[in-house]
Amino acid sequence: MPLGRLAIATVLTAATLAVVWFVAVPLGPVACPAIMPPPTNCMSSYREGTALVISVATVSIYAAMVVGALTIGRRRPAIVTAGIVVLTALLVTAWPLIGLLAGFPLA
């Protein structure tokens, strides 16, 4: 079982969730235009919906990768490596996605 790769995936998942909920949702895009009504990506309530979708995708990819690693990971280590690559891409793109996408309110 590739425990080192699972540890890397766990750190990437935790880092992505931390960036999403502690940086991207509270801060949002770098600059918002001074118009009324403001764009939806400038409202934190709308960024929360996008953050929830990204969080569910991150946890789902991580769970699928862990199941793959524990079942067929020794025979096909590329599954674990692909999961790490996808989790890295999510970590890099999470903040720009939340800042740029229009989003939706959770309530």
Per-residue pLDDT of the chain (107 residues; tens, 9 = 90+): 567 888 999 999 999 999 999 988 888 777 788 888 888 888 888 888 889 999 999 999 999 999 988 888 778 888 888 999 999 999 999 988 888 887 888 77
Structure token pair of residue 69 = 């690693």
Give the 3-state secondary structure of 40-54: HHHCHHHHHHHHHHH
pTM of this prediction? 0.85
Instruction: Look up residue 23 and give its DSSP letter.
Output: I
| Measured CA distances, 42 to 53, 82, 95 (Å) | 17, 33, 13
List the domain boundaries for the chain: 3-29+39-100
